[in-house]
C-alpha cells in the first residue's frame, strides 16, 4: 500500500486546476466576442448592399405592377364584353321567338318574354354602357309586341275552350234525387209540386260543379294572364276574361231556360203559367249557384292564383249580369200584386234563398262582390216580407169573404175546404214559416207564433161561416150547415200536424160546438112534427063517434076526428121533411149516420107510442091506411134517405 496524501497538499492541487480552467474559459469568451463582432460587421455590410439593390429594383417592380393591373383590366373588360354580347345573343334569340309567335310553342314564347325582361333589367343597371338606352328602347319595343301577341293568344285560347254548358251535362252534376226526367229541359221543376220532400235535396246531397275549362288548359291560361299582368295589362286581361266568360255563362243559363222577365211581364201572366215559371226559377237558382257560379269561382281561383287583385274582380264581372238576370225575376214576384195563392210559391222562393245563403256568402265574398251578395240577401228579405204580408191578407180575406156561392144543401162550403187545404199546405212549410217569423219576431217563440196565426185563420173562417149561415131561411139548415163545416174543420185538424200545434183543448171545444149545432138542428127541425104526436091537447071535441082514453083505455074523451087530423098532419109534415131534407147533405158518413140515429131515437118511439094508443080508434073507422100511412119500419127506412143530397127529380130508393 502507498503512503496517504496530506490534506493540505490535496487542496493546493485542486485550486491550481480550477485556475487553469478559468483562464481557458476567459480565452474562449474573448475569441467568441471577436467572432461575433466580425459577423455583425459582415451582416451590416449585407444590409447596406440589400438596400442598395432594393433601390435599384424599385422601378422594375412599379412597371411589373402596372402590367399586372393592365392585364386584370383587360380580363375584366373581356368578361364584360362577353356578358354584353351574350345579352345581345339572348335578345336575338328572344326576338326570333317573338316574331314566330306563341301559337306553336307557348312555353318557349313565355320563356322569351322572361328573357326580354331580364335583358331590360341588365341594361337598366349597366350605367357604363354607352348605348344602353338605345338597347333598352329596342327591347322594350320588342316586349310590347310580344305582349300584344300574348294578349291575342290569351283571347283566342280562352274563347276556344269557353263553351256554354248543355243542360244535360248540368243535370248529370246534380244529386240523383234532383235530376229531371228525360225530355223535360225547360220544365224540369214540377210547378204544381211543393218544392220539398222528394224534390228537396238532403243536407248531404253532393253537387259536382262541371269543369268549365279543361284542367290541362288552365295552367297555360294562368301563365298568359300572369305575363300580361306583369306587363301592366291588368285592365285588358279583365276585359278579355269578362267579355268571354260572362257571355258563355249567360248562354248556359238561357239554354237551361232562364229568361228575363219584368214586373209588368209577371203581372200579365196567367197564374198557371207564372206558377210553372216560379217552379223552374227555383231549380235554376240551385243549378246556377251550386254548379255554374261555383264552377266560375273555381276557374277564377286557378287562373288568377297569386294575382289576388284580379281574382275577385274577374269573378264579379263575369257573374254580375247572370246574377241580375236571376234575381230580377225573384224581385218581380216579390213586388207583384199579392194574392193568397202566391203564398206557397213565395215560401218556396224564400226557402231556396235560405238554402243557398251560405254558398252565396262564400262564393261572393270580398268587397268587389258585396253588391251582388247584398242583392241576393235583400231578395230573401223582400220575399219574407211579402210572404208575411200575404199571410195577413189571407187571414183578412177569409174573414171578409163575401162570395155568394150557393150551398143550398148545407154541405161543406168551398171556402171551408179551401182554407183547410191552405192550412194543411202551410204545415208542410212549418220549418220555413218558423224561420220566416224569426226574421221579424225575434223575441217570440216561432212555434207559438205559428199557433197564433193558425188559430186566427180558423177563427176568421168560423166568423165568415157564421155570416154565411144566416143566408138560410130555414134555421134548421143553418145549424146543419154550421155542424157540417165545423165538423170538417175539426176532423181535418185531428188528421193533420195542426192538432199538435192547436192542442187537444181546441179540438174538444170545437167537437162540443159540432154537437151543439146537431142538437139545435134536431130541436128546430123535428119539434113541430113531434108536437103532432104529443098527447097534449087531445081533449074531447064533443063530436060523435067513439072515443079513446088518453092513457090507452076506451074513453069518449078523445075525438076520432082529432086523432085523424093529428095523423094527417104528421104524414104531411114528415113527407115535407123527407122531400126537403133528403136534398140536404151531410157529407161525412159517420156524422150522417149518427144524426139519422139521433132523429130516429126521438121520432120512432113517439110514433110507435102514438099509433099504439090511438091507432085502434082510426082502424075501426073508414080508410084507416089514409091516416096510418107508415109503419115505424117505413119511417126508419125513409130516415135512411135523409141528408143524401138528392135532386128533386131523383127517384126514391
Tell me what pLDDT residue 546 has. 46
Q: Are 157 and 224 in contact (CB under 8 A)?
A: yes
Q: Name the average pLDDT for the chain.
A: 82
Q: What is the largest CA-CA distance in the chain?
A: 224
Tell me what pLDDT residue 556 has. 46
pTM above 0.95, yes or no: no
Residue among 271, 354, 363, 358 nearest 322 (CA): 363
Q: Would you place residue 43 in the very low, low, confident or very high pLDDT band (cuts 50, 70, 90)?
A: low
Task: Count CB neighbours of 593 within 10 A.
Answer: 13
In total, the chain counts a number of residues equal to 653
Give the single-character DSSP code of 197.
G
Tell me the domains of the chain and their CATH numbers. 31-161 (no CATH), 167-176+208-386 (1.20.1280.170), 397-527 (no CATH)
Q: Would you place residue 10 in the very low, low, confident or very high pLDDT band (cuts 50, 70, 90)?
A: very low
Per-residue pLDDT tens over the stretch 323-332: 999 999 999 9
Query: What separation, in Å, do the N-terminal and C-terminal C-alpha atoms of the chain show?
Result: 192
Tell me what pLDDT residue 103 has. 55
Tell me what pLDDT residue 431 has. 87
Is residue 190 scored above 50 in pLDDT?
A: no
Tell me what pLDDT residue 541 has. 46
242 or 647, greater pLDDT = 242
Q: Would you place residue 552 in the very low, low, confident or very high pLDDT band (cuts 50, 70, 90)?
A: very low
291 torsion bin: left (phi>0), alpha (psi -120 to 50), beta (else): alpha
In angstroms, what CA-CA distances link 497 with 365, 493, 494, 503? 40, 7, 8, 10
Distance in angstroms (rounded) separating the CA atoms of residues 285 and 322: 11
Low-confidence winner among 129-143, 420-434, 544-558 (lowest mean pLDDT)? 544-558
Tell me what pLDDT residue 635 has. 94
Core vs surface per residue 403-416: b (16+ CB within 10 A) or e: eeeebebbbbbebb
In angstroms, what CA-CA distances link 41 with 31, 37, 514? 15, 6, 153
Q: Are 288 and 322 in contact (CB under 8 A)?
A: yes
Per-residue pLDDT tens over the stretch 48-66: 776 776 777 777 778 777 7
Tell me what pLDDT residue 188 has. 44
Tell me what pLDDT residue 144 has. 66
Distance in angstroms (rounded) separating the CA atoms of residues 316 and 319: 5
Cell for 122?
A: 341588365
Q: Would you place residue 83 in the very low, low, confident or very high pLDDT band (cuts 50, 70, 90)?
A: low
Is residue 87 scored above 80 in pLDDT?
A: no
Tell me what pLDDT residue 458 has. 92
183 or 637, greater pLDDT = 637
Distance in angstroms (rounded) separating the CA atoms of residues 312 and 297: 9
Q: Are 546 and 560 in contact (CB under 8 A)?
A: yes
Tell me what pLDDT residue 647 has. 77
204 or 335, greater pLDDT = 335
Distance in angstroms (rounded) separating the CA atoms of residues 487 and 417: 12
Q: Which residues, including other chains, have CB under 8 Å from residue 454's CB and lie 6 or more apart? A: 423, 426, 498, 501, 502
Is residue 18 scored above 90 in pLDDT?
A: no
Core vs surface per residue 5-20: b (16+ CB within 10 A) or e: eeeeeeeeeeeeeeee
Tell me what pLDDT residue 554 has. 43
Residue among 386, 469, 458, 379 nearest 423 (CA): 458
Burial degree of 393 (CB within 10 A; 0-12, 13-18, 19+): middle
Distance in angstroms (rounded) separating the CA atoms of residues 249 and 61: 83
Q: Mean pLDDT, to the nearest integer, of 498-509?
A: 89
Tell me what pLDDT residue 130 has. 56
Amino acid at each position: 500500500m502507498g503512503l496517504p496524501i496530506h490534506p493540505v497538499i490535496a487542496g493546493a492541487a485542486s485550486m491550481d486546476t480550477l485556475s487553469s480552467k478559468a483562464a481557458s474559459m476567459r480565452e474562449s469568451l474573448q475569441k467568441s466576442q471577436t467572432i461575433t463582432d466580425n459577423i455583425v460587421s459582415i451582416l451590416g455590410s449585407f444590409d447596406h448592399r440589400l438596400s442598395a439593390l432594393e433601390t435599384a429594383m424599385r422601378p422594375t417592380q412599379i412597371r411589373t405592377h402596372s402590367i399586372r393591373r393592365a392585364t386584370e383590366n383587360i380580363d375584366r373588360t373581356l368578361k364584360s364584353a362577353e356578358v354584353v354580347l351574350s345579352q345581345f345573343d339572348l335578345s336575338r334569340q328572344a326576338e326570333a321567338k317573338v316574331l314566330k309567335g306563341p301559337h306553336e310553342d307557348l312555353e318557349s314564347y313565355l320563356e322569351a318574354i322572361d328573357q326580354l325582361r331580364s335583358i331590360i333589367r341588365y341594361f337598366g343597371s349597366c350605367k357604363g354602357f354607352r348605348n344602353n338606352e338605345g338597347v333598352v328602347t329596342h327591347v322594350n319595343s320588342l316586349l310590347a309586341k310580344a305582349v300584344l301577341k300574348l294578349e291575342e293568344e290569351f283571347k283566342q285560347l280562352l274563347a276556344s275552350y269557353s263553351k256554354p254548358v248543355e243542360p244535360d251535362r248540368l243535370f248529370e252534376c246534380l244529386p240523383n234525387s234532383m235530376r229531371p226526367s228525360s225530355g223535360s229541359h225547360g220544365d224540369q221543376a214540377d210547378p204544381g209540386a211543393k218544392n220539398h220532400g222528394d224534390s228537396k235535396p238532403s243536407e248531404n246531397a253532393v253537387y259536382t260543379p262541371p269543369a268549365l275549362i279543361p284542367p290541362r288548359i288552365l295552367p297555360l291560361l294562368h301563365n298568359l294572364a300572369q305575363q300580361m299582368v306583369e306587363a301592366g295589362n291588368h285592365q285588358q286581361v279583365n276585359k278579355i276574361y269578362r267579355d268571354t266568360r260572362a257571355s258563355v255563362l249567360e248562354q248556359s243559363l238561357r239554354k237551361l231556360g232562364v229568361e228575363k222577365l219584368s214586373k209588368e211581364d209577371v203581372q200579365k201572366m196567367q197564374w198557371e203559367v207564372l206558377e210553372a215559371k216560379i217552379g223552374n226559377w227555383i231549380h235554376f237558382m240551385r243549378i246556377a249557384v251550386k254548379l255554374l257560379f261555383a264552377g266560375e269561382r273555381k276557374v277564377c281561383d286557378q287562373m288568377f292564383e297569386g294575382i289576388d287583385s284580379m281574382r275577385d274582380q274577374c269573378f264579379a264581372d263575369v257573374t254580375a249580369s247572370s246574377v241580375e238576370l236571376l234575381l230580377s225575376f225573384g224581385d218581380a214576384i216579390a213586388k207583384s200584386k199579392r194574392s193568397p195563392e202566391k203564398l206557397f210559391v213565395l215560401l218556396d222562393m224564400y226557402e231556396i234563398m235560405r238554402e243557398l245563403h251560405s254558398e252565396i256568402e262564400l262564393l261572393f265574398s270580398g268587397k268587389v262582390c258585396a253588391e251582388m251578395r247584398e242583392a241576393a240577401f235583400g231578395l230573401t228579405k223582400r220575399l219574407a216580407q211579402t210572404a208575411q204580408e200575404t199571410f195577413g191578407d189571407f187571414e183578412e180575406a177569409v174573414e171578409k169573404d163575401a162570395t155568394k156561392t150557393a150551398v143550398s144543401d148545407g154541405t161543406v162550403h168551398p171556402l171551408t175546404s179551401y182554407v183547410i187545404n191552405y192550412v194543411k199546405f202551410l204545415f208542410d212549410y212549418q220549418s220555413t214559416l218558423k224561420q220566416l217569423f224569426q226574421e221579424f219576431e225575434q223575441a217570440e217563440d216561432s212555434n207559438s207564433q205559428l199557433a197564433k196565426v193558425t188559430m186566427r185563420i180558423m177563427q176568421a173562417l168560423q166568423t165568415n161561416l157564421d155570416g154565411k149561415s144566416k143566408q138560410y131561411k130555414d134555421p134548421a139548415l143553418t145549424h146543419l150547415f154550421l155542424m157540417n163545416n165545423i165538423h170538417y174543420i175539426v176532423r181535418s185538424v185531428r188528421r193533420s200536424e195542426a192538432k199538435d200545434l192547436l192542442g187537444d183543448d181546441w179540438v174538444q171545444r170545437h167537437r162540443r160546438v159540432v154537437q151543439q149545432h146537431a142538437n139545435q138542428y134536431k130541436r128546430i127541425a123535428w119539434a113541430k112534427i113531434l108536437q103532432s104526436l104529443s098527447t097534449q091537447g087531445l081533449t074531447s071535441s064533443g063530436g060523435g063517434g067513439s072515443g079513446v082514453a088518453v092513457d090507452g083505455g076506451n074513453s069518449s074523451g078523445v075525438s076520432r076526428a082529432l086523432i085523424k087530423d093529428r095523423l094527417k098532419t104528421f104524414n104531411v109534415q114528415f113527407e115535407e121533411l123527407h122531400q126537403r131534407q133528403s136534398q140536404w147533405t151531410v157529407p161525412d158518413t159517420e156524422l150522417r149516420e149518427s144524426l139519422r140515429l139521433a132523429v130516429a131515437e126521438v121520432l120512432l118511439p113517439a110514433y110507435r107510442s102514438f099509433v099504439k094508443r090511438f091507432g085502434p080508434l082510426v082502424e075501426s073507422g073508414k080508410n084507416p091506411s089514409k091516416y096510418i100511412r107508415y109503419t115505424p119500419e117505413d119511417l126508419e127506412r125513409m130516415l135512411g134517405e135523409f141528408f143524401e143530397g138528392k135532386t128533386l127529380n131523383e127517384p126514391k130508393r
